[in-house]
């Protein structure tokens, strides 16, 4: 699988990321997230997102203002659903 990522300004704490999968016909298909209605995720500017295309695991670090601390979530990609689901 090939993926493309678009990063947009989110706030002083972080940015918004959209993931796209490039299919066999070379078309871009937006990948959805189980925790997002608009298909984007928020990640800290000073940390990184890490994606392992072999395992389909995506680790996202962000600052949670309600908890006043950094948090990390792990998502697993499903090719069948073309989506990332929050790992339990």
pLDDT tens track for 25-60 = 999 999 999 999 899 988 887 677 899 988 999 999
pLDDT band at 1 (very low <50, low <70, confident <90, very high): low
Scored b (16 or more CB within 10 A) or e, 60-71 reads: bbbbeeeeeeee
Residue 62 pLDDT exceeds 70: yes
Mean residue pLDDT of the chain comes to: 89
d(CA 4, CA 21) in angstroms, rounded, equals 6
The set of residues, in sequence order, having a beta carbon less than 8 Å from that of 83 and lying 6+ positions away, is 31, 32, 33, 34, 77
Per-residue model confidence (pLDDT) at position 59 = 93
Q: pTM of the full predicted structure?
A: 0.82
């Amino acid at each position: 699988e090939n993926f493309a990522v678009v990063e947009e300004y989110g706030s002083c704490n972080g940015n918004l990321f959209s993931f796209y999968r490039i299919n066999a016909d070379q078309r871009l298909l937006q990948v959805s997230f189980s925790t997002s209605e608009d298909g984007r995720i928020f990640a800290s500017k000073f940390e990184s997102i890490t994606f392992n295309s072999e395992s389909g695991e995506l680790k996202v670090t962000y600052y949670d203002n309600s908890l006043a601390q950094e948090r990390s979530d792990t998502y697993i990609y499903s090719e069948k659903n073309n989506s990332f689901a929050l790992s339990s």
